[in-house]
Amino acid sequence: MDVLINLFVNGISTGMLIFLLASGLSLIFGLMSVLNFAHGGLFAWGAFTGVWLFNMTGSYVLALIGAIAMGMFLGFILERFLIRPVYGNHVRQLLVTLGGMLVLSECIKVFWGPNPIGAKLPLWLQGSYTFEGVILIKYRLFVILIGIIIYIALLLLLKKTKIGLMIRAGVIDKEMVQALGINVKAIFSFVFLLGAGMAALGGFLLAPYSGVIFAEMGMQYAILAFIVVIIGGLGSVQGSAIASLIVGLAGAFTAYFIPDLSLAINMLMLLFFLIVKPNGLVSEKG
């Protein structure tokens, strides 16, 4: 039983990390129709910036804030100078964002070197709790808590604020929102910065979770994020959350019980949902 509980916790915490990357990507994809493969690079930059700041200052909070700030800064640069000129052209978007992903990865090697870097936890997040004989790792519970907080904050933003209403309306019908005189480009920029910040936060949280970070880590998680976006539905935070948990739990249980299938499980799930639910679990678009 303790093995099953730990697999469940591991799957949920991994799912929350994927959710931080995928939810922003889903909003960007759903609202802006932008295939942003550079999103994974922001994830990696969040990890490296946060680890570097933590090693330099010893402050986990400062490192967290710095990682998010770096992600949003790089997101602003990407949106303003790379992506904005190619709005509406998916082929050029693909080329530009893939190029951006490679540039971000190579810049990490320039600043921090080509070798993987170890990441450690602050003392207050080390160790574990024991409940009814089950050992629960403290940091994984912390990641789950952060994921829940971000999920609730996103829902409140989208459902209880004016800009959230505009974002949801834009996901459904951009032309209608623009016809009402709303500055769609400003909404695009806000959503892109929000997604970039969440991607960087996800990378920072992953660093001590995995124990080691490397320049190409962004591509690995970007692929998972795109799978989640397709399964969950374009522009849907709820869909991204559900799909992230499905992917995280499937990965954890498959790796333990059927390790030979662990590399293929995500693609099999993607194929299944494309056939059964091609519009996603909770698509905001009709």
Do residues 18 and 221 lie in contact, with contact meaning Cβ atoms separated by under 8 Å? yes
pLDDT at 97: 92
pLDDT of residue 286: 46
Could you give the C-alpha distances from 85 to 76, 184, 205, 236, in angstroms and in order? 13, 15, 32, 26
| Domains of the chain and CATH, by start | 2-276 (1.10.3470)
Look at residue 149 in the predicted model and tell me its pLDDT: 96
Task: Please tell me the pTM assigned to this model.
Answer: 0.92
- Single-letter code of the amino acid located at 140: R
| Cβ neighbours for 186, distance < 8 A, ≥ 6 positions apart | none
* pLDDT tens digits along 73-96: 999 999 999 988 888 788 888 899
**pLDDT tens per residue across span 178-203:** 787 888 788 888 999 999 999 999 99
What is the pLDDT at residue 284?
Answer: 60
Q: Quick one: tokens of 215? A: 């320049």
C-alpha to C-alpha distance for 36 and 102, rounded to whole angstroms: 12
Q: What is the DSSP letter of 81?
A: I
Alpha carbon distance 85, 277 (integer Å): 33
> What's the whole-number mean pLDDT along residues 240-252?
94
Mean pLDDT of 200-216: 94
For range 68-72, the mean pLDDT: 97
Q: Identify the CA nearest to 224 among candidates 72, 83, 16, 10.
A: 16
Question: What is the spatial distance between Cα 21 and Cα 281, in angstroms, rounded to a whole number?
Answer: 18
Of 260, 283, 255, the C-alpha closest to 6 is 255
Do 134 and 4 form a contact (C-beta atoms < 8 A)?
Answer: no
- Name which of 129, 132, 162 is nearest 144 in CA terms: 129
Q: Which residue has the tokens 């209880």?
A: 160
Query: What gap in Å lies between CA 76 and CA 73, rounded to an integer?
Result: 5
CA neighbor of 43 nearest in space, from 184, 218, 209, 174: 218
- Element (DSSP H or E) covering residue 153: helix 138-160
The mean pLDDT of 121-133, rounded to a whole number, is 88
Q: For 116-136, what is the HEC assignment? A: CEECCCCHHHCCEEEECCEEE
**Whole-angstrom Cα distance, residue 254 to residue 269?**
12
